[in-house]
Structure 1
Amino acid sequence: MKRKQVISTILMCTLAIGVISWFYAPEKTRSEGHIRNATVFVHGYKGTENSFGNMLSRFEHTYGWGQTSLMYRVSAAGKLDLNVYRRNSGDITEPLFVQAVFENNRAGFQDTSAGLAKLLAHMKETFQINKVNLVGHSMGGLVSMDFIESYENGKVYPAVDKLITIGSPFDGIYNDGYFHIHHDAGAEDLKPDSYALKRLQLNKDVIPDQLDVLSIGSTGDPVAVPESVGTIQDIVDPAQLTYKMIDDDTLGHSALHEDARVDKMIYSFLNPMNKIGRTTKD
């Protein structure tokens, strides 16, 4: 009788460990099948899961454009915590949306892109995702570009097919008052003429020829002003770049990822059948 109780206890413990392992996936876990179409959303300076939360909810529940199945939290020490919103790999369908959330949301470009590299490597190893799109708001777009320029290794990381930057100031933030308030590593990298921004320009020759880039800005953005957003045109080859500046003085920096026009631009760019035109004004 005691032996049966012991066996039963062991089985229950094994089952519990399996469930826990699924919902709190370690950095190395089992293969979950090949997923071809994944888009990773990268928040900006001081961003949180709420930064892209509403947009992803609209994409999934309002428009039916895909599903948000994975959220990676990257600790300040670089440790990954993965939330899987579907119980098994069969429930994860394409297009797949992935949210990247950084605990140290005031870190510099290189530290944040190193965290992004770590989670992308985990996606490749765990889910066999060999190709991704990156969508970054503000500094998230700059960090995504830093990753593309710094981590080109097809054996370790997924290849980036498309990059979308939303309100990303590639020449820095021109407002001196901004830096009277913010004094951390991320703020230093966002200053015009910072080494981090110069590095993006110096390394532009390593940007893959097959990468397609969409840059979205707004004339009403007081943080990433059009002149700074437009500097991406000095980094990305014109043949690879779609540049969209929304002419709307009421559309501010944090409102960009809450705007239906931006939603449609992203969807059209990610879907070849509905790709937006390569124009400079919208």
Structure 2
Amino acid sequence: MKKKIIIGLLALLIVVGATVFWLTRPPKIGKEVQNAIDKEEVIDSNIPTVFMHGYAGTKNSLGKMIERFDESGVATKGLILTMKKDGTIEATGELDTTKKNPTIQFIYEDSRVSVEDNILWLVDLMKELKSNYGIETIHFVGHSLGGVAGLYYLEEHASDAHFPHIQKFVAIGSPFNGLYIADDGVSPYDFGPTGPQTETERFTFFKENKEKIPADTHILNIAGDVEDGTKSDESVAVSSALSIRFMLNPQHYQEKVFYGAKAQHSALHENDQVDAEVLKFLWSNNQ
């Protein structure tokens, strides 16, 4: 009996140990990211990069991407600003612009707020960067609704002297023309010769205010297609994510579509190839 108990305890310890290792192991660095590092393509900039999650997101939504960049030496994990449910802002970590490619993570304690509140909170967080941290210029990475809110900020506030300017903007799986997904991949929102055949109120707003986007802001737009026939990442149609291509300066705009299981909506920010594209766009000598 004692022998069985000992064996059982040992098995439990092994399981617990393996679980702890899995949860605390260093993030895996993708091959393409390592290739960019090996080729010495990564620049050393003091411009902070803001990472913003989407609806129902958590600190892990883009936090693991930040950790991978930090561990690889590409960027430096720094300040975290959390918007509390009562609208106050909590700061942890620190922002040191003498460090290589410093990062700032925005987190919402209640990440299921309306689109309108999401945008208002993002504006408040951006104002915090300018007023309390003296940040003049940033890069911005937004996943899903984070990209939508980011584009609103880009149009409405990025040229305002009271807010940080966005030099480079990355959207990952962002529904710029709504959330409609067709089972057969064919919808009224698909593209015609000059843009989406049907426009949501959201897209129309962005199109009508496109001239407000700073002329020197460069944009990378990433979408996913899981190849299940819907032409979507299971949450956002490729046509919705890429709809803004029709209203942006082609010289300052580029897009990338990823395919397969790793192109699923929440898997995009854990995709090694996405990491590499973000790295090359934000911090590469080739940009």
Q: Could you tell me the TM-score, scaled by structure 1's length?
A: 0.73
Report what 1:149 is aligned to. 155
CA-based RMSD of the aligned residues comes to: 2.3
Alpha-carbon offset, residue 250 of structure 1: 4.9
Alpha-carbon offset, residue 271 of structure 1: 2.0
Report what 1:40 is aligned to. 50
In structure 2, distance between residues paired with 1:227 and 1:235 = 14
User: Structure 2: 5+ residue runs without aligned partners?
Assistant: 1-44, 184-197, 227-232
Q: Deviations over 1:100-151 (max 9, x none)?
A: 0112312233322221222222222233211001100111101100111121
Give the number of equivalent residue pairs: 223
Q: Deviations over 1:39-79 (max 9, x none)?
A: 00010111111111211111101x21111111111123321
Report what 2:86 is aligned to. 77
Is 1:58 matched up with 2:30? Answer: no
Structure 1 counterpart of 2:255, from 232, 243, 266: 243
Is 1:261 matched up with 2:270? Answer: no
Q: Compared with structure 1, are the counterparts of its residues 197 and 76 closer, same or farther at alpha carbon in structure 2 (3 Å cutoff)?
A: farther
Q: Deviations over 1:13-34 (max 9, x none)?
A: xxxxxxxxxxxxxxxxxxxxxx
- Letter paired with 2:243: T
Is 1:132 matched up with 2:138? Answer: yes
Q: Deviations over 1:160-186 (max 9, x none)?
A: 001000111211111489xxxxxxxxx
Q: Compared with structure 1, are the counterparts of its residues 93 and 126 closer, same or farther at alpha carbon in structure 2 (3 Å cutoff)?
A: farther
Q: Could you tell me the TM-score, scaled by structure 2's length?
A: 0.71
Report what 2:129 is aligned to. 123
Contact 1:110 1:146 in 2 (8 A): no
Is 1:110 matched up with 2:110? Answer: no
Give the 5 Å matches for 1:1-282.
36-61=46-71, 63-85=72-94, 93-175=99-181, 194-220=200-226, 221-248=233-260, 250-275=262-287
Q: Which structure ranks higher in relative contact order (CA pairs < 8 Å, sequence separation ≥ 6)?
A: 2
Q: Compared with structure 1, are the counterparts of its residues 196 and 109 closer, same or farther at alpha carbon in structure 2 (3 Å cutoff)?
A: farther
In structure 1, distance between residues paired with 2:278 and 2:144 = 15
Alpha-carbon offset, residue 194 of structure 1: 4.7
SS at match of 1:208: coil
Report what 1:15 is aligned to. none
In structure 2, distance between residues paired with 1:46 and 1:121 = 23
Report what 1:16 is aligned to. none
Percent identity reads 28
- Letter paired with 2:88: K
SS at match of 1:148: helix
Q: Compared with structure 1, are the counterparts of its residues 75 and 197 closer, same or farther at alpha carbon in structure 2 (3 Å cutoff)?
A: farther
Contact 1:40 1:97 in 2 (8 A): yes
Q: Deviations over 1:209-229 (max 9, x none)?
A: 111000011221121121111
